[in-house]
Amino acid sequence: MPYQSLNPTTEELMEVYPEIEEGALEAALDRAEAAFKSWRQTDFSSRARLLRRAADLLDNRAVAHARIMALEMGKPVGDGVAEARKCALALRYYADHGEAFLRDVYTRTDASESRVSYQPLGPILAIMPWNYPYWQVFRFAAPALMAGNVVLLKHAPNTPQCALEMVDLMREAGFPPDVFQSLFLTNDQAARVIEDRRVAGVTLTGSTAAGRKVAAAAGKALKPSVMELGGSDPFIVFPDANLEEAAKIAAFSRCLNGGQSCIAAKRFLVQESILNGFLSDFVEAMTAQVVGDPLKDETRMGPMARRDLRDGLAEQVRKSLALGARALCGGETPSGRGFFYPPTVLIDVPSHAPAATEELFGPVAVVIPFKDEADAVRIANDTTYGLGAALWTTDKERIARLVPQIEAGAVFVNGFVKSDPRLPFGGIKASGYGRELAREGMIEFMNQKAVWIR
């Protein structure tokens, strides 16, 4: 797929960018290697100062960055502003805490002194998606840069302007030019970069299919890797929950970013005794979403990012309906310009239908009734994915019982699953491995060196 900016609202092709030539790629890798040798010697206070400058620039120009996101992948401007400011939050978080996270950890052994020391590994290839085009990058780059690693960014082919804007931002903040590079790589070039001796590791946020390929390449090259992949997150509602709030948050979680989020709630598990009441509130909240031009302030959901993504989602819904599922709202592709798809609620979905077996990466919710706690846990865990889960109940004993049983990298109780710089983020099973954010994410690409002195 070529690197091109295509407006998903108007279908206008704004710009096409050439993929990097082999000679330029070789030069970029040489520069990254040289930059690492210098950057790793930079003291923590100097790195923190640059991270804070980048955060200030993001905050000051949040609206401008949000407009680029809206034009390239359809994110409403208000959501784009929030994304830019969340990136600034992450940059400041690691500026404030990064040095403490990497202090030597002392322990008692048979030596007079023994400790674990942390050193950066080198240039890390970051293969990043389009759905959160700034946040996905900075939630990796902030800890990596603070740790002394350098970043080689392969951004999604449909968000090249976002990639270039981030490069300009980091240079304006004062980072050495080769510490944060954007490379418009082909997939074959990316595979060769993973193998290259100058590259120390790879992180990918994307589909499970892409993750299998990149993880295999990293394993063959004996390179550390972090895979943040897809999800089919359950949103479990018990009768003692605040049902009105749960329905509103359920709709918000399913439609945020056009439903194009790995950690969006996708399967809504509702106890049978409250199913009809929840469905009424949920459908009302889904149909109340304001869908339209992402540049307008009142819009809460823009178009999907690409035509193939919208058409693929529509086909998943069509096949599921043909197999017996019912749509309580939405379910039909609108006519007209733009890659829009309506908020959709499906019920009575057969277990073999695409809506039950595949990730729905768009504003389509599947509602599934359950009988009791055991049934809820069984359904929640009956997926190849294990990224996040939301549990809605006010029963503290139930929370204590169920949280350990849910197979996911994160469980949020009485709220929607989200990433936060203060908490590790990642999944299990087909949702990937490794962690981003918090201290756990920072040390993924560090040499955790044992030091023993007599």
Q: Residue 86: what pLDDT?
A: 98
Q: Are residues 82 and 18 in the same domain?
A: yes
Position 24 in a domain: yes
Average pLDDT on 99-111 reads 98
Q: Are 388 and 409 in contact (CB under 8 A)?
A: yes
Q: Are residues 29 and 103 in the same domain?
A: yes
Question: Over the stretch 403-442, which tens digit does the pLDDT of each residue have?
Answer: 999 999 999 999 999 999 999 999 999 999 999 999 999 9
Average pLDDT on 95-111 reads 98
CATH number, domain containing residue 309 = 3.40.309.10
pLDDT at 267 over 80: yes
Question: Over the stretch 219-258, which tens digit does the pLDDT of each residue have?
Answer: 999 999 999 999 999 999 999 999 999 999 999 999 999 9
Position 289 in a domain: yes
Q: Are residues 224 and 238 in the same domain?
A: no
Q: Residue 183: what pLDDT?
A: 98
Percentage of the chain with pLDDT > 90? 99
Average pLDDT on 343-370 reads 97
Q: Are residues 335 and 433 in the same domain?
A: no
355-391: b or e for each residue (b if 16 or more CB lie within 10 Å)? Answer: bbebbbbbbbbbbbbbeebeebbebbbebebbbbbbb
Give residue 80's identity as a one-letter amino acid code: G
Known catalytic residue at 228: yes
Q: How far apart are CA 63 and CA 66, in angstroms?
A: 5
Per-position DSSP letters for 16-76, written without gaps between them:
EEPPPPHHHHHHHHHHHHHHHHHHTTS-HHHHHHHHHHHHHHHHHTHHHHHHHHHHHH---
Q: Are residues 18 and 138 in the same domain?
A: yes
Q: Residue 142: what pLDDT?
A: 98
Residue 387 structural domain: 233-413
Rounded to the nearest integer, the mean pLDDT of the chain is 98
Q: Which residues contact 114 (CB under 8 A, 6 or more apart)?
A: 106, 107, 108, 450, 451, 452, 453
Q: Are residues 90 and 104 in the same domain?
A: yes
Question: Over the stretch 23-79, which tens digit does the pLDDT of each residue have?
Answer: 999 999 999 999 999 999 999 999 999 999 999 999 999 999 999 999 999 999 999
Q: Are 112 and 61 in contact (CB under 8 A)?
A: no
Position 222 in a domain: yes
Q: Are residues 239 and 104 in the same domain?
A: no
Position 334 in a domain: yes
Give residue 228's identity as a one-letter amino acid code: E
- Vertex 253, ends 258 and 280: CA angle to 5°? 105
| Catalytic choice (228, 359, 407, 444) | 228
- Angstrom CA distances, 380 to 134, 361, 385, stand at 31, 18, 10
Q: How far apart are CA 176 and CA 171, in angstroms?
A: 7
pLDDT at 1 over 80: no
Position 423 in a domain: no
Position 422 in a domain: no
pLDDT at 152 over 90: yes
In which band, very low, low, confident or very high, does the pLDDT at 19 lie, cut at 50, 70 and 90?
very high
Q: Are residues 78 and 113 in the same domain?
A: yes
In which band, very low, low, confident or very high, does the pLDDT at 328 lie, cut at 50, 70 and 90?
very high
Q: Are residues 318 and 333 in the same domain?
A: yes
DSSP state at residue 392:
E
Q: How far apart are CA 436 and CA 419, in angstroms?
A: 9
pLDDT at 362 over 80: yes
Q: Are residues 201 and 337 in the same domain?
A: no
Position 424 in a domain: no
Q: Are residues 193 and 260 in the same domain?
A: no
DSSP state at residue 338:
S
| Catalytic choice (165, 262, 407, 444) | 262
Q: Residue 22: what pLDDT?
A: 98
CATH number, domain containing residue 106 = 3.40.605.10
Position 421 in a domain: no
In which band, very low, low, confident or very high, does the pLDDT at 2 lie, cut at 50, 70 and 90?
confident
Q: Are residues 215 and 239 in the same domain?
A: no
Domain count, the chain: 2
